[in-house]
Amino acid sequence: MVLSDNVRTPPGLTARLSGYRVETDSAERLRRLRPGGFRDPKDGGGPGGAGPDDGAAARARPGTEDDIDRLTRFYERAPDGIRRGRDSVRRSIGGGRRTHFIEHDGEVAAAALTTAELPGLAMVGGVYALPTAGRTALTHALWAITQALLAESKVVCTVTHDPAVDALCDRLGFEVLGPWRTVHLVRR
């Protein structure tokens, strides 16, 4: 079970849950794309202030049911906090959620997904690239999913704790709203 909470509120639910223990408790940053602030990587939002010209953006595409196995293998190699199993990957492709990813040599190199979508609002997570993929792939995975959400007039939010993703969010126009807490619970 995962609980997400604004850390400014007093600990409430976590302390009252019996039958569970805290496996991880991480402090993160809640971010929102500034209204009208999205910066396309081609116009200076990308690595080094200029967007890459290697066609990575053109290779970014939405995931489908046919991609579940490859996306599962990709996310199983991700660090804790980003790692996902098959059921989680399946949920991130259907049921009102989505995943966008970049391929390199037939394998998933970088991806970003929505963890929740409502009318007018989306939470993006799972922003990760293989260490060999570099910032370009990471930039375009997040850029592609953000573009798709903006095309539907959604406010785009994310929770970050990784310095590389923080820097990328800054370049693309996300602002920090405040602290966020994610608690992973397991049954005792």
| CATH number of the domain encompassing residue 102 | 3.40.630.30
User: 156 lies in a domain?
Assistant: yes
CB neighbours of residue 102 within 10 Å:
26
Looking up tokens 């849950």, which residue turns up? Answer: 17
pLDDT, tens digit (0-9, with 9 covering 90-100), for 148-182: 999 999 999 999 888 888 999 999 999 999 988 87
Task: With respect to residue 165, please indicate whether it lies within any of the assigned structural domains.
Answer: yes
In a domain? residue 185: no
pLDDT digits (tens, 9 = 90+) for 3-25: 555 555 455 566 667 788 888 77
pLDDT of 185 reads 79
pTM here is: 0.81
Instruction: Provide the domain limits for residue 92.
Output: 29-178
In a domain, residue 129? The reply is: yes
CA terminus-to-terminus distance, the chain: 12
Domain count, the chain: 1
Residue 16 in any domain: the answer is no
